[in-house]
Amino acid sequence: MSVLFKKHELLSHDGIAHGFFGRQGGVSEGQYESLNLGKGSQDSTENVTENRTRVAKALGTSEPKLLSLSQIHSTEVLIVDAPFAGTPPKADGLVTKTPGLAISALAADCGPVLFCDPQAQIIGACHAGWRGALAGVTTETIRAMESLGASRNNIHAVLGPCISQDSYEVGHDYRDTFVAENEAHDRFFKLGPKEKPHFDLKRFILAKLRKDGLTQIDALPDCTYAQPEAYFSYRYNTHHNLGNYGRNISAIMLKA
């Protein structure tokens, strides 16, 4: 089976390769079937490495040059110009202007965001779960790109597959955390069938990007929870007692 991934026209420019990868086309089995990219999962190291090799090949690079972080739901963003030596650092965003390095975000319901300034040839990737999104990981990724010479007016950003509002039931305390930050955040919540709030992570991340001054933004419509055959989902596995879960990868690279 071929590795399957989606592209978006906002990131499709000369000299730039990118992909939002689903769970199909890898070698993992069981609850990790089949393109699991999560080194932190309980999948075998051999399987994850082979899956990473297939993703890297699809982008036009080699596995050591596919950079993934140890993600911690932070606003920490790293500027990189070479593969990591040893254990991946703890952070949630990557930025580079070095050709041949594929930078990525892993997710299994959280929001992976890919960025590019096609004129300056500078790219970024970040993992935006609700904590990171609220704290400003997308903002810090944009700032890191600007520090290398990107222009906010020229930055394109696309949010990849993540959980949709209909599938994202949360507690009232969760909603209170957002409203305490800004009363206007209440618009990202609606009451579900059980009279519990449902959070619109997609719309929240897009609003953050818009507030940061980006005008060329979009999101894939896919829901990781509602499409278990296509994507890994932490919540889906939890609700269906499937144990541990795989990770989807979204990656972008300047062609060498």
Distance (Å, whole) CA 138 – CA 132: 8
How far is 133 from 150, CA to CA, in rounded Å?
Answer: 21
Contacts of 241 (CB under 8 A, 6+ apart): none
Q: What is the pLDDT of residue 137?
A: 98
Name, in order, each residue with C-beta under 8 angstroms of 239's C-beta and a sequence gap of 6 or more.
Answer: none
Q: Which residues pair with 199 in a beta bridge?
A: 189
pLDDT of residue 55: 98
Contact 196, 171 (CB under 8 A): yes
| Alpha-carbon distance values, 90 to 68, 93, 142, 226, 252 (Å) | 10, 10, 19, 29, 19
Cβ(217)–Cβ(206) below 8 Å: yes
Query: Residue 1's pLDDT is what?
Result: 64
pLDDT in tens, the chain (256 residues): 689 899 999 999 999 999 999 999 999 999 999 999 999 999 999 999 999 999 999 999 999 999 999 999 999 999 999 999 999 999 999 999 999 999 999 999 999 999 999 999 999 999 999 999 999 999 999 999 999 999 999 999 999 999 999 999 999 999 999 999 999 999 999 999 999 999 999 999 999 999 999 999 999 999 999 999 999 999 999 999 998 999 999 999 999 9
Q: What is the separation of C-alpha 237 from the centre of its chain, rounded to a whole number of angstroms?
A: 19
67 strand-pairing partners: 103
Confirm if 108 and 233 have CB atoms less than 8 A apart. yes
Backbone phi, psi, residue 157, to 5°: -140, 135
In this structure, the chain runs to a length of 256
Domains of the chain and any CATH numbers: 5-164+200-254 (3.60.140.10)
